[in-house]
């Protein structure tokens, strides 16, 4: 039953994104036979150090979607405090629903079934523009951003150029 609900919802969201594209990203299925694996392309947000970048990622949805969040992982090499060295995205809305056992996040900041592919990707774009250094998935990126911002910007700039070359 949960799988039927999730596949109907994912199909609806895909149709909506195809009918009404959202500026800043595109999303679609990796394989037409699997509604649970999506490929995403995010354009680096303007007026940020990621501007001009073209970043590929994957969203993997659990069968319990929308009651549980998808996982998101960048395929394009990234250097960002909230993106792990393996490309995994760490933002509150992708954390399991409910109270945070560490008390860092409020339940209202974590996954809620009202989130859609669109709200997730808009949150990730916002995260690119405004990293959270307080709870980093990449400690090296957070530390470099705080302590040597010029070095951080140069490193990200190289990755932005590389993302353009990889097209």
Enzyme catalytic residues: 90
Question: 66 preceded by cis ω (within 30°)?
Answer: yes
φ/ψ region of 4 (left if φ > 0, alpha if ψ in -120 to 50, else beta) reads alpha
Stretch (H or E) spanning 162: helix 149-165
Tell me how far CA of residue 56 lies from CA of 83, 137, 165, in angstroms.
13, 18, 13
């Amino acid at each position: 039953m949960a799988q039927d609900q999730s596949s109907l919802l994912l199909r609806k969201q895909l149709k909506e994104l195809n009918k009404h594209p959202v500026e800043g990203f595109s999303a679609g299925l990796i394989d037409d036979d699997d509604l649970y694996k999506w490929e995403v392309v995010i354009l680096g947000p303007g007026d940020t150090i990621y501007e001009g970048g073209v970043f590929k990622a994957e969203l993997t949805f659990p069968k319990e979607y929308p009651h549980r969040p998808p996982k998101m992982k960048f395929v394009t090499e990234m250097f960002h405090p909230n993106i792990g060295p393996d490309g995994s995205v760490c933002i509150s809305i992708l954390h399991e629903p409910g109270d945070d056992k560490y008390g860092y996040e409020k339940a209202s900041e974590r996954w809620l079934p009202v989130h859609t592919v669109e709200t997730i990707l808009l949150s990730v774009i916002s995260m690119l523009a405004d990293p959270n250094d307080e709870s980093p998935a990449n400690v090296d990126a957070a530390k470099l951003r705080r302590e040597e911002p010029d070095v951080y910007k140069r490193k990200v700039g190289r990755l932005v150029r590389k993302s353009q070359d990889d097209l």
